[in-house]
Amino acid sequence: MTGDRDFAVSTYAYIDVALEEAVEKLAAEGWRRIEIMCEGSHGDLLGWSDDRVEELKRTGERYGISWSLHSPIAGCNPAAVDGTETALSEAVLLETLRLADRLGCSYVVLHPGASDSSDTHEGSGFGRGSRETRMRIAGFLARILELTAGSRTVIALENVPPYPGMFGVEPDFLLDIIREVGSSRIGIVFDAGHAHMTGNGQCLIKLLQALPHMVALHLSDNRGEADEHLGLGGGTVPLEAMIAQLSACGYAGEWVLELRKAEDLESSAARLASLRRQFPAAAQLKSATSGTRASL
């Protein structure tokens, strides 16, 4: 692998192979910051035995890997109205947080949820969901925080693509929830590809909105119509302008390549490293504060 390794990679690039194999492949390629996408076969992590989790932890220690987790999307719906679905979602997130603590993760990525009722305005792009929906998600998170009071792991809400029924397309929706919960353990993972799908110029606007609470940045490319997870430069996401903006604002959170194809990792890493060298303030600040969360 060439380029700067001072950022992270998602196991999504190897989602079609077993998690242990995916980790070994990424480690062999030189990655030392890995975000586990708990979907597909990698979602089996939540059902692993203690011995198997301990072996993953030892693998991380052997290679010097720092971890983060992306909580399952399927089966974890903080916006659920149905009590049974809510209880199941709580169990999934609690197990994700338990594993995050064992692996020493600083944050867990969480989608705010999807409609299981008639409240679909946020996902359709014509509104921000009802206040009831936002308060329901905030209540869900408050219960999780209470049940994990001894943990330091941040729950990082991710802005989602503008697909019907999905909540959290707009950063303002996430910020309302953060204000309502009122805990430093709730933050934002900003997904540039998702934001780019909402219209020309919107990615940069949404980035500035999310920045004060950002703990991580998900990077992939697309052409503005679908969540393609292309390699950087393969679409029209305004990557250069984003990096300039982040540099100017002193962003100190994590950078995560979340790509669909493993063969795109090396070229994307090199492209990101090159662009960050053009705007060195962000890279220098990241290096000086490695392992810490954004403090903006």
Residue with tokens 């020493």, as numbered in its chain:
104
- Residue by residue, pLDDT tens for the chain (296 residues) are 444 567 999 999 999 999 999 999 999 999 999 999 999 999 999 999 999 999 999 999 999 999 999 999 999 999 999 999 999 999 999 999 999 999 999 999 999 999 975 454 444 443 457 899 999 999 999 999 999 999 999 999 999 999 999 999 999 999 999 999 999 999 999 999 999 999 999 999 999 999 999 999 999 999 999 999 999 999 999 999 999 999 999 999 999 999 999 999 999 999 999 999 898 765 554 555 444 444 44
State how far the Cα of 61 lies from the Cα of 232, in Å rounded to an integer: 30
Strand 66-70 vs strand 33-37: parallel, antiparallel, or unpaired? parallel
Longest dimension (CA), the chain: 51
State how far the Cα of 279 lies from the Cα of 287, in Å rounded to an integer: 13
The predicted pLDDT at position 125 comes to: 41
Name the 3-class secondary structure at 195. Answer: helix
The tokens for 66 are 């720092």
The predicted pLDDT at position 231 comes to: 98
Cβ–Cβ under 8 Å, residues 177 and 170: no
At 13, the amino acid letter reads A
Cβ–Cβ under 8 Å, residues 200 and 241: no
Backbone angles phi, psi at 19, to 5 degrees: -60, -45
The predicted pLDDT at position 279 comes to: 87
CATH for 8-288 is 3.20.20.150
Identify the CA nearest to 215 among candidates 191, 182, 248: 191
Model confidence, pTM: 0.92
Q: Is the dihedral of CA 90, 91, 92, 94 positive or negative?
A: positive
